[in-house]
Amino acid sequence: MAEIKVEKKKSITPWILLGLGIIALLLYFLGVFDKKESLNNDASTNLIGVRENDSTVLAYVSFINGDNAKMSLDHEFTNEALIKLTHAVDTMAVKAGFSVKADLDKAKEYADHITNDPFETTHADNIRRSAEIISDALQNLQKAKYPTLANDISEVKDAVGAIDPDVLTLDQREAVKGFLSKSAHVLEKMN
């Protein structure tokens, strides 16, 4: 009788396991690279975790919170506060790669008008115009680089709205100081 040779069938299980392993490795590396890419994208658009401790911002904040924060007829405090604020906003914008200098130069012009004649009745209007420009610059910077500060910027915008151009500045000290204080708070968070 003839012998029938029976050959054992080779198992495909090792090949299946190898294929699954390769697929798992591909998924792992693709997942890791996607996470790194999204972290890099978040870092480029959200600078809230980046601590600058910029001296210009710190100077503005200490000026607003200092003992010399008294508004008077000559409007020297308000003028100096607005000038320091424009410098602080410009510094943060430059560090974030964002340009607001042209707008802030206009805000400085309005701030300078309030010290020309202490008896002029348009000081509140000039302060409001300067505050609007500064708050717009802060808002644009916030949208581009600090998306988590939207509520804080909203408070700054509300504080600008509280400054009434038809009321004498000294009769609305708290509204002006409110804007300056809220702006300091936002800059502290950005800094």
In the chain the first and final C-alpha atoms are separated, in Å, by 94
Query: Looking at per-residue confidence, does 120 or 167 come out higher?
Result: 167
- What tens digit of pLDDT does each residue of 95-108 get? 888 888 888 999 99
Nearest to 86 by CA among 144, 120, 146, 127: 127
pTM reported for the whole predicted model: 0.70
Q: Spell out the domain ranges in the chain.
A: 14-45, 55-190
Task: Kindly tell me if the per-residue pLDDT of 39 is higher than 80.
Answer: no
What was the pLDDT predicted at 70? 74
Burial state string for 119-148 with b = 16 or more CB within 10 A and e = fewer than 16? eeeebbbbbbbbbbbbbbbbbbbbeebbee
Structure tokens, 18: 């190898």
Place of tokens 């690279």: 33
What was the pLDDT predicted at 40? 47
Distance of CA 127 to the CA centre of its chain: 22
- What tens digit of pLDDT does each residue of 54-94 get? 889 999 999 888 766 677 777 888 899 999 999 999 998 88
Asked if residue 76 lies in contact with residue 63, where contact means CB atoms within 8 angstroms, the answer is no
